[in-house]
Amino acid sequence: MEYTTLGRTGLRVSVAGIGCGGSSKLGLAAGHDDAHAAGIVRRALDLGVNFIDTASYYGTEAAVGAAIRGRARESLVISTKHKVSSRDGAIIPVADILAGLDRSLRTLGTDHVDVFCMHTVQPHEYDRVMTEIIPPLLREKEKGKFRFLGITEFAGRDPRHESMVRALGDDCWDVMMIAFHMLNQNARRLVLPGTRERNIGTLIMFAVRAIFSTPGRLRQDIAALVAEGRLPAALAQKDNALDFLLGEDGADSIIEAAYRYARHEPGANVVLFGTGNPGHVEPNIRAILKPPLRHSDRATIAELFGALEGVGLDEVNPLPQR
């Protein structure tokens, strides 16, 4: 495993982080139990991952708590999150958010988390977060319940990273979670220069999502983008518009290429990977640890897809309350 510093937090973190949400939620979304999910987290930890990203909304905190039980707390960097509104847009009271932090600590079986994030903050919610939530939340930080404050974006509803751009203007944020992948590159221009300048730690989500991992999905989405006039027509004629990334001296798969692309982006600290299949943990980590893509391939990706925004940012649903 390779390790880096998570911005101004000073935390030494693995460049590959186990993401406990996404469409799989460690397998819980497919009906597996907490023991299965905890096994995936343990496998990642055994391979050198020390950064764990979860959230109350994901329904995976109990599995993470089981996975870390008996491990030295100081060897782990744990991040969890709480939403500021429900899926229907209803405001979550500040008291409920603070109670949610306490509940997360109990569920995880720890007296503190390293990073506590305001989750999927939309642009119209940002002012409320700053005026109503952050002051009392920082008082909880003073009590030792979390070490650093983070914010995550609602990628599918905020494709131009407006919340992250706003957050760059406030000094309270130590960590940001940003959507970035081969067909959604605008964080390179809109967000990452600011995080680098301010030494804010970055967590990269969406490096691999359905657009790359679901058979047929890439071709379907490319065809739709061509029909909208957003991509050259020739790409719709190809079985795989990204086939130039493969072959001798290239990547072994599109998924590998996608992880390598995100991992070596200047300003990226931790690339999150998620899976419900224990057998995918080691290949995902191995992909993240591989060298950068060829310079010519990165140039082609920028030329073909650099102007795209809002592509491959699927929303995922929470697990039912259990």
Query: What is the per-residue pLDDT for 42?
Result: 98
Distance CA 140, CA 157 (A): 29
Q: Is 13 helix (H, G, I), strand (E, B) or coil?
A: strand
Strand partners for 19 = 53
CB distance 68 to 76 below 8 Å = yes
Query: What is the per-residue pLDDT for 86?
Result: 85
Neighbouring C-beta atoms of residue 12, cutoff 10 Å: 12
Q: β-strands 16-19, 51-53: how paired?
A: parallel
Distance CA 322, CA 317 (A): 15
Length reported for the chain: 322
Distance CA 248, CA 251 (A): 8
CB distance 93 to 77 below 8 Å = no
CATH fold label, 3-305: TIM Barrel (3.20.20)
pTM score over 0.85: yes
Distance CA 185, CA 265 (A): 10
Q: What is the pLDDT along the chain (322 residues), one digit of tens a residue?
A: 999 999 999 999 999 999 999 889 999 999 999 999 999 999 999 999 999 999 999 999 999 999 999 999 999 999 999 999 987 888 999 999 999 999 999 999 999 999 999 999 999 999 999 999 999 999 999 999 999 999 999 999 999 999 999 999 999 999 999 999 999 999 999 999 999 999 999 999 999 989 999 999 999 999 999 999 999 999 999 999 999 999 988 999 999 999 999 999 999 999 999 999 999 999 999 999 999 999 999 999 999 999 999 999 987 766 555 4
Distance CA 172, CA 268 (A): 20
Amino acid at 279: G
* Element holding 222 (H helix, E strand): helix 217-227
Query: What is the per-residue pLDDT for 320?
Result: 54
Distance CA 60, CA 69 (A): 14
Distance CA 70, CA 145 (A): 20
